[in-house]
Copies of this chain bind each other. A is one copy, B any other.
Amino acid sequence: MNNFKYYAPTEVIFGRDVENEVGSELIKSEATKVLVHYGGQSAIKSGLLERVKKSIEETDIEYVMLGGVVPNPRLSKVREGIEICKEEEVDFVLAVGGGSVLDSAKAIAYGAVYSGDIWDFYDGKEQITSALPHGNIITLAATGSETSSSSVITNEETGDKVGVNTEYGRPEFTLMNPELTYTLPPYQTACGIVDIIMHTFERYFSPGGVNDMTDEIAEAVIRNTKRYGTIAMENPDDYDARSELLWSGSLSHINLTGLGRVGDWASHRLEHELSGMFDVAHGAGLSAIWGAWARYTYEEAPERFIRMGENAWGLDLKELDKKEAVETMINTVVEYFKTLGMPESTTELLGRSLTEEEILKLADNASKAGNKTLGSFKVINREDMINIFRMSV
Which positions in A face B, CB cutoff 8 Å?
1-9, 11-16, 18, 178, 209-210, 212-213, 216-217, 219-221, 223-224, 227-228, 239-240, 243-244, 247-248, 251, 256, 259-260
Contacts of A4 in B (CB 8 A): 12, 14-15
Q: Which of B7, B14, B251, B259 contacts A3 (CB 8 A)?
A: B14
Contacts of A221 in B (CB 8 A): 213, 216
Each complex incorporates copies of this chain amounting to 2
Q: Give the CA-CA distance A6 to B11 in the complex, in Å.
A: 6
What are some 15 contacts across the A-B interface (CB < 8 A)?
Answer: A2-B15, A3-B14, A4-B12, A5-B11, A5-B14, A7-B9, A8-B8, A8-B9, A212-B227, A212-B228, A213-B220, A213-B247, A216-B223, A217-B217, A256-B256
Among A7, A16, A227, A259, residue most surrounded by chain B Cβ atoms (within 10 Å): A7
Among A15, A18, A212, A228, the most chain B Cβ lie within 10 Å of the Cβ of A212
Which chain B residues lie closer than 8 Å to A7 at the CB level? 9, 11-12
Closest 3 CB pairs of A and B: A3-B15, A9-B9, A216-B220
Q: Which of A6, A16, A239 has the most chain B CB atoms closer than 10 A to its own CB?
A: A6
B residues less than 8 Å from A247 (CB atoms): 1, 213, 259
Alpha-carbon gap, A221 to B212, bound state (A): 10
